[in-house]
Amino acid sequence: MNNLLQLKYAVEVEKTGSISKAAENLYMNQPNLSKSIRELEDDIGIAIFDRTAKGVVPTEKGREFLGYARSILSQIAEMEALYKQTDEKKTRFDLCAPRASYVSQALTDVILSLGPDADYSVDYREAGAMRTIKQVANGVNQLGVIRYQTMYEPNYLNTLAERSLVYEPVREFACIVILSVHHPLALQQVVSNRDLSDCTEILYGDAAIPALPVNQARELAQAIEAKNTITVYERASQLELISRLKSAYAIASPMPQDVLDRFQLVQRRVDLPGNLYRDVLIYRAGYHLTRLDRLLIEKLRESARRVISE
């Protein structure tokens, strides 16, 4: 193997599924990239990719090799960050997580614990489960939190295993329905699916489920099509819409009371099938959790318990 650049090239080809697109992202010409990939395959004695009319896809052995390649590149990046001379006193940590108030509160608790004179750099992204899995697997984020219905847990755990990710449970909960205080259903203590049939649901736009059978995917699509929906991609817009559109609602995890009060909202129990969800922390196999990572996990669990007990 000539050098680590070849690993970077192979990982980029896997990510894009295209030699030409990978070459564009790497600022190199396509023939040189193709030659480098062929040389890498010759060096290790396996075919990493199958070339098809629709692009390139990893072979079975190629997927295994690419998993090791991502791990090597990630460890090197961590070493470079650890020993980088500039900003050596700066505390760095990151997280990619679902849109949940308890997560942002936990992150705030960690930052406050650093003290007023701390020098830190935090990268916090809100994203759906599949996007978070991709971010962590590709080394964009060290830590992630994903959310899924427990009925789909095997789908998610298989995906985590395929991408060499490990997980730790954070919390389990039943979703609630969030309504404006002026919503016609605001005074009901329990809201049913039938009660919501004439209302407008505010949905997140990245709620994909991995490896979902076609018949289940079709049923989910039909259920969504039967409702009035507005799709958003960030939490503040969702809360603002529910607050101002008196017939709108969202199915979400339990929220802190101060957030509800800020937007003049209420949360009510909702009677829905399969209403049991789990949040789990994910990170790459072989990644060593830092003291700050462990503190963040502790604060996540504390924050989740506070929300549930309110």
Regarding whether 163 and 287 lie in a shared domain, the answer is yes
pTM beyond 0.85: no
Q: How far is CA 310 from CA 191, 215, 229, 239, 266, in A?
A: 19, 39, 29, 19, 13
CATH number of the structural domain spanning residue 216: 3.40.190.10
**One domain for residues 183 and 250:** yes
Phi, psi dihedrals of residue 78, rounded to the nearest 5°: -65, -40
What pLDDT score does 190 carry?
94
Residue 213: Cβ within 10 Å count: 10
Whether residues 166 and 147 share a domain: the answer is yes
Supply 102's token pair: 């308890």
Residues 143 and 225 placed together within one structural domain of the fold: no
Picking from 30, 58, 82, the residue at the C-terminal end of a domain is 82
Domain count, the chain: 3
User: 15 and 55 share a domain?
Assistant: yes
Give the count of beta carbons closer than 10 Å to the beta carbon of residue 290. Answer: 14
Domain extent at residue 183: 176-273
Chain-centre distance for alpha carbon 299 = 19
pLDDT of res. 106:
92
Tokens of 13: 């080809």
Chain mean pLDDT for the chain = 84
DSSP letter at 23? H
Joined tokens for residue 46: 């396996």
Classify residue 272 by its DSSP letter.
-
68 and 119 co-located in one domain: no
What is the pLDDT confidence band of residue 83, given thresholds at 50, 70 and 90?
low
Q: How many residues does the chain have?
A: 310
Domain check: are 31 and 166 in the same one? no
- Do residues 269 and 290 share a domain? no
- Categorize the per-residue pLDDT at 178 as very low, low, confident or very high, splitting at 50, 70 and 90: very high
pLDDT range class, residue 82, cuts 50, 70, 90: low
8 A C-beta contact, residue 263 and residue 243: yes
**Is residue 55 located within the same domain as residue 191?**
no
Whether residue 133 is found in the same domain as residue 191: no
Of 59, 82, 105, which marks where a domain is finished? Answer: 82
CATH number for the domain including 12? Answer: 1.10.10.10
- Give the pLDDT band of residue 249 (cuts 50, 70, 90): very high
Give the whole-angstrom CA distance, residue 306 versus residue 308. 6
Task: Encode pLDDT of 34-55 as tens digits.
Answer: 888 988 888 888 999 998 877 8
Of the candidates 51, 66, 82, which is a domain's last residue?
82
What is the pLDDT averaged over residues 104-126? Answer: 88
Helix residue spans in 195-256 (DSSP H): 214-225, 235-244
Whole-number pLDDT of residue 214: 43
Residues 148 and 217 in one domain: no
Confidence of residue 88 (pLDDT cuts 50, 70, 90): low
Average pLDDT over residues 161-190: 92
Locate 269 and state its tokens: 């129990």
What phi and psi values does residue 97 have, to the nearest 5 degrees?
-150, 165
* Bridge partners of residue 58, in order along the sequence: 49
| Tokens, residue 268 | 């009510």
Mean pLDDT in residue range 240-253: 90
- Going from the C-alpha of 179 to that of each of 16, 18, 192, 244, the distances in angstroms are 41, 45, 13, 10
305 CB neighbour count, 10 Å cutoff: 12
Q: Are 148 and 277 in contact (CB under 8 A)?
A: yes
H or E stretch at 261: helix 257-262
Q: Are 63 and 112 in the same domain?
A: no
Select the more confidently predicted residue: 186 or 218.
Answer: 186
Given this model, what pLDDT does residue 150 score?
93
